[in-house]
A and B are shown apart, each in its own frame.
Chain A
Amino acid sequence: MISKRTLSGLPPWYFLLPAVFVGISVLMPLVYLVIRAFDGDWSQTSELVLRQRNLILLKNTLMLTGSVVLVTTLLAFPFAWLTTRTNVPGVKLMTLLGVMPLAIPGYVLAYSLLGVGGTNGTLAQLFGIVIDRPSGFWGALLAISLYTFPYLFLNLRTGFLGLDPSVEEAARSLGYSSRQILFRVIIPQLKPSYLAGMLIISLYVIGDFGAVSLMRFETFSYALFLQYESAFDRVYAAWIALMLLALTSTILVAEYKLLKGLSFYRIGVGSARRTKITELSSWGIGLAWTYVLAVLTAAVVIPVVTILFWMAQGVDPFIWNSFGDAIRNSITASAPAALLAVFFAVPLAYISIRYPSRMSNYLQRFAYLGYATPPLALALAFIFFSLSAVPFLYQSLALLVFAYALHFLAESMGPIRSALYQAPPRIEEAARSLGVSRFRAFWLTTFPLLKSGIVAGSAFVFLSAMKELPITFILSPIGFETLAVSVWGYSAEAMFAEAAPFALSILFFSVLFVYLLFAREWKKA
């Protein structure tokens, strides 16, 4: 049978070429990373690998990852349930508020948490309350959990919305109680979306550098950074990066094994009826909103107030000069990265949807590999790669842009893929039967339908790159300070007032990101 979504034959070379190029570009730096790691002699290498410090780093990383997963689960579940399965008033607002914490990147949150406490902090100055500055494990846990839980919320929300109400009705007719249905019908069905959200969050924690470094909690990523900064021993840095990659692969494989065989999509056609909702009492509604506002206060209100407070303390005029530079630098790196990412994403998405095969599947996975690779490891790999293979690109803006594009490629794939799913494949054949060449058929028929997906995809990449910290840190040309690097730099030295304008402008771009994400998510309902 002729499939509804695919075209027959081989994908055209002008789509295959960029797709293969992406695959090579993701793999090559990692190869150089391995080469570099085996540079030293054996005794030195084994000493580095078997160091006890590695075990401590592993313990810290795993402990933080596990705790963040736990805390985000507790934070996200009520949000997802309240916004999909209850009669709570203001669902749209609550959904937006549930996504809002993504507007405060982990390092900005860490900065504001640092700025709140201590004898000199916001609380002390405004209310005379002195609390300890959060730091170490608890500080990192708080900052990362409050920033990342919306990812899990969005995944669970999609899961809840995808539940088929008639399955629950069937269970009820078979004599199950509400509680039994929750544990034996609903929760098992939510497993795929929960695992997907958990994957994003675990990968984020492992790769996070900003929050752990400001909180001075030694995970692999932070250790990698310290090692790289000390600059004497690149071989050990390479080894830490490899361990980081090994950890990432373990998580990816575990996720793959857990997800295998789990596909709980609704069987049957037609639109699902609205899920049965739980009626909350006015008491319950009050409790729900109190919960939401409390989380929001911690995740959004406190950071924003802190930033504004430090802004009001007065910003040195010399800061404003570097502020203009930072904005310009951030944009000159992020805008081309967004275009490049889309340039790669369109062929990749096109091949994987229109010409599904084992090869196109692998090619697409490379795009996600670039996203899953911890940013510091990716950046370090690029350093090694550029030093050995393309020295003229070392510390160039072009390399930074390229690394951004590869890392955030996956973010632009989503919207482009869903646009492609909606574009009927037969229109290209129709165009060809009307005398138009293969490429022009794509250009005149499918491409116009991808426009909204391309705009959304490039916006995601642009806004993510604007707030990106670790890759920028390592790959940016000397003296090239971006907004994110400035926030981190000033906060690390407890210069909170100086960091404030940069943090505020990051917030501005992050809010746009959140709005875009929310607008796309809301359409799903």
Chain B
Amino acid sequence: MEKSMNCLLRATNLTKRFSPQDPPVVDKVSFTVAPEEIFAILGPSGCGKTTTLRMIAGFERTDEGSIQLNGKTLECPYTHVPPEKRGVGFVFQDYALFPHLNVLENVKFGLTGLSKSEREYRANDILELIGMKAFCKRKPHELSGGQQQRVALARALAPKPSMLLMDEPFSNLDAVLRQSTRNEVRRILKEARMSAVLVTHDQEEALSVADRIGVMNKGKLVQIGTPEDVYYRPRTSFVATFLGRTNLFAAQASGLEARSEIGTLMLDKPARGDVMLSVRPEHLTIERATPANSSNSCGLICSREFKGHDITYHVRMPQCECIVHTDNRMPFSIGDNVVVRPLEPAVVLEHEDGRASLTPSFMQETGDPYKPL
């Protein structure tokens, strides 16, 4: 898909420094977005994702690299198309609704070059699409967070931009609202056949809304792929741990098998020598230890989180500790002797520069691979 000619937005080697002595906030970031595709840039705060988005919108100049939209160059070291000439919609984290204008006026703001009746018609049309028509006379401060969010979306969609950029669009909503708004926004974008770049630090949000995800860390895009791709086949330990909980094991690989701290594991691709493996907690299961099955994959349950639909167990093994998700029909208690068994092949991780890695960098920093990020 990366090499497909059918691409709407192409960002090449985007680089941005805020001060010459510091490392770049955005470092040679390249990606493409296809028509009607929702692309999420996922990363921890301060990783440069918002700056990347603002460069696409034209609010920040790039130091290096170029941006093309529909084959037209918007940005390169000698060109800077101002934001108002880019035809790109932007939804801000705090929505940035015009506080002195009502909902309808906010939505009509970008509808220039149309007759009065056409503007009215188009604005009402889009308010209908997002289900806010009843509120068109309200001022922004009279709306709830979720409603403001919809209006911001409507305002950005109204002028029919080539694509939509969204900066942490759901982060100001409470947990319950976030989920429903997410589905709603995805529905609206798909219905409007609108392609979008969305920036978020919430992996669940990226996984559920986006068609493809780019995982960003310290100014660099680490991995690009479908949600399943980045979740099940993380390229590095950063991607593996940032997209949910995982178990990282140091192992000795030979071909499609490896010897690890929890016994012999199947691998997703052939490897040789010292490798770092990632196994998702739901790809492990536990059984009661019996004299028949006990081996070096045997351990002791040291903690247990009951979450209703599933249970998370922490199992202390002779050389490590691992997390296992099981469904709620596996009632073990703390202190039980169990055997951990893999359900899927383990994923061989690369070092961030492409080499097979032994110790992930974050482990050296925090010393706790299970620390929730």
Alpha-carbon distance between A437 and B84 when the two chains are bound, in angstroms: 6
Contact between chains at A429 and B61 (CB < 8 Å): no
Which of B60, B61, B100, B109 touches A434 (beta carbons < 8 Å)? B109
For the A-B complex with A432-B82, A432-B83, A437-B82 known, give 10 more contacts whose Cβ atoms are closer than 8 Å.
A2-B50, A7-B59, A9-B60, A426-B92, A429-B57, A431-B98, A433-B84, A434-B156, A435-B112, A436-B84
A427 in contact (CB, < 8 A): yes
Alpha-carbon distance between A8 and B16 when the two chains are bound, in angstroms: 13
Contact between chains at A429 and B83 (CB < 8 Å): yes
Task: Please name all residues of chain B whose beta carbon is closer than 8 Å to the beta carbon of A434 when the two chains form the complex.
Answer: 84, 89, 109-110, 155-156, 159
Contact between chains at B82 and A438 (CB < 8 Å): yes
- Whole-angstrom distance from the CB of B54 to the nearest CB of chain A? 7
- Whole-angstrom distance from the CB of B79 to the nearest CB of chain A? 15
Contact between chains at A424 and B96 (CB < 8 Å): yes
A495 in contact (CB, < 8 A): no
Nearest opposing residue in chain A for B60, CB measure:
A8
Contact between chains at A429 and B60 (CB < 8 Å): no
Total chain A interface residues with beta-carbon distance under 8 A? 24
Contact between chains at A430 and B59 (CB < 8 Å): no
Mark A411-424 against chain B: 1 for CB-CB distance below 8 A, else 0: 00000000000011
A89 in contact (CB, < 8 A): no
Alpha-carbon distance between A431 and B59 when the two chains are bound, in angstroms: 12
Which of A1, A8, A423, A437 touches B59 (beta carbons < 8 Å)? A8
Contact A432 B100, CB 8 Å, known A8-B59, A424-B94: no
| Interface residues in B62-87 (C-beta closer than 8 Å to A) | 82-87
Contact between chains at B159 and A435 (CB < 8 Å): yes
Contact between chains at A430 and B57 (CB < 8 Å): no
B291 in contact (CB, < 8 A): no
Alpha-carbon distance between A430 and B99 when the two chains are bound, in angstroms: 12
- Whole-angstrom distance from the CB of A311 to the nearest CB of chain B? 46
Which of B51, B87, B100 touches A435 (beta carbons < 8 Å)? B87
B residues in contact (CB < 8 Å) with A: 46, 50-51, 54, 57-61, 82-90, 92, 94, 96-100, 109-110, 112, 155-156, 159, 165
Contact A430 B46, CB 8 Å, known A438-B82, A449-B100: no
Task: Please name all residues of chain B whose beta carbon is closer than 8 Å to the beta carbon of A1 when the two chains form the complex.
Answer: 46
A445 in contact (CB, < 8 A): yes
Contact A435 B84, CB 8 Å, known A2-B51, A8-B60: yes
- Whole-angstrom distance from the CB of A437 to the nearest CB of chain B? 6
Contact between chains at A427 and B59 (CB < 8 Å): no
- Whole-angstrom distance from the CB of B160 to the nearest CB of chain A? 11
A448 in contact (CB, < 8 A): yes
16 contacts between A and B (CB under 8 A): A2-B51, A424-B94, A426-B96, A427-B96, A427-B99, A429-B57, A429-B59, A430-B155, A432-B58, A433-B58, A433-B83, A433-B89, A434-B110, A437-B82, A438-B82, A438-B84
Contact between chains at A433 and B98 (CB < 8 Å): no
Most A-side CB within 10 Å, residue of B59, B82, B97: B59
Contact between chains at A435 and B110 (CB < 8 Å): yes
Nearest opposing residue in chain A for B80, CB measure:
A9
Task: Please name all residues of chain B whose beta carbon is closer than 8 Å to the beta carbon of A429 when the two chains form the complex.
Answer: 57, 59, 83, 90, 92, 96
| Interface residues in A392-444 (C-beta closer than 8 Å to B) | 423-424, 426-427, 429-438, 441, 444
Task: Please name all residues of chain B whose beta carbon is closer than 8 Å to the beta carbon of A435 when the two chains form the complex.
Answer: 84-85, 87, 110, 112, 159
Contact between chains at B155 and A448 (CB < 8 Å): no
Which of B50, B84, B97 touches A432 (beta carbons < 8 Å)? B84
Contact between chains at A430 and B98 (CB < 8 Å): yes
Task: Please name all residues of chain B whose beta carbon is closer than 8 Å to the beta carbon of A445 when the two chains form the complex.
Answer: 98
Alpha-carbon distance between A67 and B84 when the two chains are bound, in angstroms: 59
Most B-side CB within 10 Å, residue of A426, A431, A441: A426
Task: Please name all residues of chain A whose beta carbon is closer than 8 Å to the beta carbon of B61 when the two chains form the complex.
Answer: 9
Contact between chains at B100 and A430 (CB < 8 Å): no
Alpha-carbon distance between A492 and B145 when the two chains are bound, in angstroms: 64
Nearest opposing residue in chain B for A422, CB measure:
B99
- Whole-angstrom distance from the CB of A150 to the nearest CB of chain B? 33
Task: Please name all residues of chain A whose beta carbon is closer than 8 Å to the beta carbon of B97 when the two chains form the complex.
Answer: 427, 430
Nearest opposing residue in chain B for A425, CB measure:
B96
- Whole-angstrom distance from the CB of B224 to the nearest CB of chain A? 24
Task: Please name all residues of chain B whose beta carbon is closer than 8 Å to the beta carbon of A427 when the two chains form the complex.
Answer: 96-99
Contact between chains at A430 and B84 (CB < 8 Å): no
Most B-side CB within 10 Å, residue of A1, A441, A444: A1
Contact between chains at B96 and A430 (CB < 8 Å): yes
Task: Please name all residues of chain B whose beta carbon is closer than 8 Å to the beta carbon of A437 when the two chains form the complex.
Answer: 82, 84
- Whole-angstrom distance from the CB of B10 to the nearest CB of chain A? 20
Task: Please name all residues of chain B whose beta carbon is closer than 8 Å to the beta carbon of A8 when the two chains form the complex.
Answer: 59-60
Contact between chains at B94 and A433 (CB < 8 Å): no
- Whole-angstrom distance from the CB of B206 to the nearest CB of chain A? 20
- Whole-angstrom distance from the CB of A8 to the nearest CB of chain B? 5
Task: Please name all residues of chain A whose beta carbon is closer than 8 Å to the beta carbon of B90 when the two chains form the complex.
Answer: 429-430, 433
- Whole-angstrom distance from the CB of A491 to the nearest CB of chain B? 48
| Interface residues in A261-280 (C-beta closer than 8 Å to B) | none
| Interface residues in A1-15 (C-beta closer than 8 Å to B) | 1-2, 7-9
Nearest opposing residue in chain B for A445, CB measure:
B98
Task: Please name all residues of chain B whose beta carbon is closer than 8 Å to the beta carbon of A426 when the two chains form the complex.
Answer: 92, 94, 96
Alpha-carbon distance between A2 and B50 when the two chains are bound, in angstroms: 8
Alpha-carbon distance between A458 and B82 when the two chains are bound, in angstroms: 34
Alpha-carbon distance between A117 and B347 when the two chains are bound, in angstroms: 98
Alpha-carbon distance between A274 and B318 when the two chains are bound, in angstroms: 57
Task: Please name all residues of chain B whose beta carbon is closer than 8 Å to the beta carbon of A7 when the two chains form the complex.
Answer: 59
Task: Please name all residues of chain B whose beta carbon is closer than 8 Å to the beta carbon of A9 when the two chains form the complex.
Answer: 60-61
Which of A431, A433, A441, A449 touches B57 (beta carbons < 8 Å)? A433
- Whole-angstrom distance from the CB of B15 to the nearest CB of chain A? 15
Task: Please name all residues of chain A whose beta carbon is closer than 8 Å to the beta carbon of B46 when the two chains form the complex.
Answer: 1
Which of B51, B86, B92, B112 touches A430 (beta carbons < 8 Å)? B92
